[in-house]
Amino acid sequence: MTIVHAKDDTFDAAVLQSEKPVLVDFWATWCGPCRALGPTLEEMAAKYDDFQIVKVNVDECRDLALRYGIEVIPTLLVFKGGQVVNRAAGLMGEQEILALVRG
C-alpha cells in the first residue's frame, strides 16, 4: 500500500471511514525524529496490507492536531472503526509500531 497524505478535507474519508485499521503519523518537515521515522513507515506501507498508513503535517493541518490533542511530534494514533484505540509519541521501530497497531 502507499502512504496517504491527508489534509483537513480528506482526513475523515481516509481515516474515520476506513474499513481497515489506520495508523496516523502526525509530523512536520522540520522535525528530525519525524524525518527519521519516515523510511520505516514507507517500508511498512510496502510490506503490510492489513492496515493503512496516513500522514498528517501538523503545520498544514493545525485543526486536526488540536482535535486530537497532538502536543509532541511525531505522534502516532491508531484508529479502528473511526475511533482512536491507541497512541504513542516519539521515534519508534517497526516492531513497536506493529504492536501499537495490532495491540
What average pLDDT values come out for the chain (103 residues) when binned by 10 residues? 95 97 98 98 97 98 97 98 97 97 92
CA distance 72 to 52: 22
Looking at residue 48, its amino acid is Y
User: Cell triple for residue 4?
Assistant: 496517504
Q: Please tell me which residue in 14, 31, 64, 73 is annotated as part of the active site.
A: 31
Q: Please tell me which residue in 4, 34, 45, 78 is annotated as part of the active site.
A: 34
31 is catalytic: yes
User: Cell triple for residue 67?
Assistant: 482535535
Per the listing, cell 493541518 goes with 61
CA distance 37 to 25: 9
* Sign for the pseudo-dihedral over CA of 84, 7, 93, 41: positive
Contacting residues for 39 by C-beta, under 8 A, at least 6 apart? none
61 is catalytic: no
pLDDT of residue 91: 97
pLDDT of residue 1: 81
Where do the DSSP E strands lie in 38-90? 52-57, 75-80, 83-89
